[in-house]
Amino acid sequence: MLERLKQEVYEANMLLPKSGLVTLTWGNASAFDKESELMVIKPSGVSYEAMKPEDMVVVDLDGRCVEGKYRPSSDTPTHLQLYQSFRQLGGIIHTHSPHATAFAQAELDLPCYGTTHADYFFGSIPCTRPLSDEEIKEAYEKNTGVVIADTFQKRNLDVLAIPAVLVAKHGSFTWGATVQKAAETAIVLEEVAKMAAMTLALNHGVDSAPQCLLDKHYYRKHGANAYYGQK
C-alpha cells in the first residue's frame, strides 16, 4: 500500500545524510496521505546504508502500525501530532543538523538576517519553550508536537509561511506540502542557521532584515504574483 509515498519518504530520508544534515541514524522523514489518513515514516534506528523503500512503516493516526516489518521511528507521535494540528502538511522532516540544533540548544529564535532566509521563511523561525517535566514524563514525543503547535498558535504564525521550528534543547522540524519540499526546507534551514551564526559572530548587534525586503523576497517566490522559477 501507498507504494509511491513509500518511495518518496525513502528518497527524502536518503537525502538527509547525503546533504550532511544527519549523522548515524539521527533524523527521520514522513509523509501523510490525506485520503486514507495514513502516515508513512522511516523505521526506527535502521542504518541508511541498509534501508530500502519497502522498509518504510505505515501507521494510522492513533500510531498503530498498519503495514511494515519494522517499528516506526520513535518520533512517530510527534509527526502524528503535527499532521493533526496542521492539516495542510503533506510531509515532515526531523533532523539534528548542527547549526539549527545550536540555535535550539541555545533556546533562541533564528532571526531573518537576509534574503536567503526570506526566500523561504516569512520571518524568524521560532524556538519552542522547553517542555515541562510533566510533559516529558507523560507523553514526551506527542507533547513535543503539542508544544510546537502551541508555539505557532500563540505567536499567530502561518505554518506554511514559516515551514520550520526549533525545539528547545532538541533539534528542528521542517515541513511542507510534500516530503520532498520538507527535505529541501531542511537543507535551507541548516544553511541559513549557519549564515546567521556567522553574521552574529561578526556583528552581535546586527539588525534583522526590514519587513519590506521580507515581503519582496517571500512574494517573489510564493503566492499569485511569484515570478521566481519557471511557470
Cα distance between the two ends of the chain:
33
Report the residue number, 35 or 133, with the smaller CB distance to its own copies.
133
According to CB under 8 A, which one of 4, 34, 71, 154 is a site residue for its own copies? 71
Phi/psi-derived region of residue 64, left when phi > 0, alpha when psi is between -120 and 50, beta in every other case: beta
Site for its own copies in 185-204 (CB under 8 A): 187-188, 191, 194-203
Among 51, 66, 108, 162, binds its own copies (CB under 8 A): 108
User: Least CB distance from residue 3 to its own copies, whole Å?
Assistant: 22
Q: Which is nearer to its own copies, 33 or 55 (CB)?
A: 55
| Span 138-177, contacts to its own copies by CB under 8 A | 140, 169-171
List Cα–Cα distances, 26 to 90, 170, 196, 198, in angstroms. 21, 12, 23, 25
Q: Does residue number 44 form part of the binding site for its own copies (CB under 8 A)?
A: yes
How many alpha carbons fall within 13 Å on the CB side of residue 29? 32
Q: Which stretch binds its own copies (CB under 8 A): 6-14, 80-88, 111-119, 149-157?
A: 111-119
SS3 of residue 207 by DSSP: coil
Exposure on the CB side of residue 92, measured as CA atoms within 13 A: 30
Rule CB under 8 A: choose which of 34, 154, 155, 216 binds its own copies. Answer: 216
Does position 225 interact with its own copies (CB under 8 A)? The reply is: no
**Whose Cβ is closer to its own copies: residue 33's or residue 191's?**
191
Q: How far is residue 73's CA from residue 4's CA, in Å, rounded to a whole number?
A: 19
Asked if residue 62 binds its own copies (CB under 8 A), the reply is no
Q: For the chain, what is the largest distance between any 2 Cα atoms, rounded to a whole number of angstroms?
A: 53
Do residues 28 and 59 lie in contact, with contact meaning Cβ atoms separated by under 8 Å? Answer: no
Dihedral (Cα; 199, 201, 207, 212), 10-degree rounding: 10
Q: Does 219 bind its own copies (CB under 8 A)?
A: no
Q: CB 49: neighbour CB atoms within 10 A?
A: 7
**Shortest Å, Cβ 209 to its own copies:** 5
Per CB under 8 A, residues contacting its own copies are 23-24, 26, 43-46, 70-71, 74, 96, 98-99, 101-108, 113-116, 119, 130-131, 133, 136-137, 140, 169-171, 184, 187-188, 191, 194-203, 206-207, 209-210, 212-213, 216, 220, 227-231
